[in-house]
């Protein structure tokens, strides 16, 4: 949900151009010449974040409202709750990394070395991966739950309380394992100059190439 907006903004307001020497120069949003582009990007990001936060909050409110017309099953509610948690987790890197980095200047010591990555940038870039895989896994689990409920109602016992808790715990553990492997084999960071997330897996062992 929140992963594609940086690319969309980049295509809209930060096109690259070619010089006569046939070299490509990419605009840098940190330059003072692109103040307007910077604030347009911030505006788009804030709007999309508010859209995601409000929509997920409304979804949670609808699911857990104590109303007689609320016919959502317990298994459906629990799985959707995990999706909502994953969505809110995905908002953290945008709030704690993307927005602060956009407001930093190019001469800031944070950007003295292009290859230098602070721990907060890398940590929340990894959290970006964690939220992506958790949403992917729980949406798959939600799809399976709805398919069983509609086409195989006799198999609904697969999503009974004890088994469902086990499935949810298994999904979270599998996502943690994937995220840990990604953190170990790859270095991820947010590149503010072109509003993108970078992953580098070439500096590790040969196993990193297999993982990537």
Q: Strands 24-25, 187-191: parallel, antiparallel or unpaired by DSSP?
A: unpaired
Q: Which residues contact 41 (CB under 8 A, 6 or more apart)?
A: 9, 13, 29, 102, 195
- What pLDDT is recorded for position 8? 40
- What pLDDT is recorded for position 174? 96
- What pLDDT is recorded for position 156? 78
**Residue ranges of domains in the chain, CATH in brackets:** 5-211 (1.20.1070.10)
Distance CA(54)–CA(1), nearest Å, equals: 13
Per-residue model confidence as pLDDT tens for the chain (212 residues): 444 444 443 344 444 333 333 334 456 676 777 778 788 888 999 999 999 999 999 999 888 876 666 677 888 889 999 999 999 999 999 888 888 888 776 655 444 444 444 677 777 888 888 999 999 999 999 999 889 888 887 777 778 778 899 999 999 999 999 999 888 888 888 877 777 788 787 654 555 444 44
Q: What is the pTM of this model?
A: 0.74
Q: Which residues pair with 200 in a beta bridge?
A: 187
- What pLDDT is recorded for position 83? 95
Q: 3-state SS string over the chain?
A: CCCCHHHHHHHHHCCCEECCCCCEECCCCCCHHHHHHHHHHHHHHHHHHHHHHHHHHHHHHHHHCCCCCCCCCHHHHHHHHHHHHHHHHHHHHHHHHHHHHHCCCCCCHHHCCCCCCCHHHHHHHHHHHHHHHHHHHHHHHHHHHHHHHHHCHHHHHHHCHHHHHHHHHHHHHHHHHHHHHHHHHCEEEEEHHHCEEEEECCCCCHHHHHHC
Inter-residue long-range contacts of 50-59, CB under 8 Å, 24+ positions, other chains counted: 52/1, 52/2, 52/87, 52/90, 52/91, 53/88, 53/91, 56/84, 56/87, 56/88, 59/84
- What pLDDT is recorded for position 101? 80
């Amino acid at each position: 949900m929140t992963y594609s907006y940086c690319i969309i903004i980049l295509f809209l307001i930060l096109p690259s151009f070619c010089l006569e020497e046939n070299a490509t120069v990419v605009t840098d949003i940190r330059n003072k010449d692109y103040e307007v582009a910077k604030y347009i990007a911030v505006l788009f990001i804030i709007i999309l974040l508010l859209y995601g936060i409000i929509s997920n909050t409304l979804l949670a409110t609808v699911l857990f409202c104590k109303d007689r017309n609320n016919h959502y099953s317990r298994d459906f509610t629990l799985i959707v709750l995990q999706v909502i948690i994953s969505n809110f987790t995905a908002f953290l890197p945008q709030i704690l990394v993307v927005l602060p980095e956009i407001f930093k200047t190019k001469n800031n010591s944070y950007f003295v070395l292009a290859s230098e990555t602070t721990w907060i940038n890398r940590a929340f870039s990894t959290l970006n991966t964690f939220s992506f895989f958790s949403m992917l896994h729980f949406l798959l689990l939600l799809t399976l739950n709805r398919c069983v409920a509609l086409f195989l109602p006799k198999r609904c016992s697969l999503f009974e309380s004890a088994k469902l808790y086990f499935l949810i715990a298994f999904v979270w553990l599998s996502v943690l394992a994937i995220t840990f492997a990604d953190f170990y084999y790859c270095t991820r960071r947010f590149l503010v100059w072109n509003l993108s997330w970078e992953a580098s897996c070439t500096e590790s062992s040969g196993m990193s190439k297999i993982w990537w």
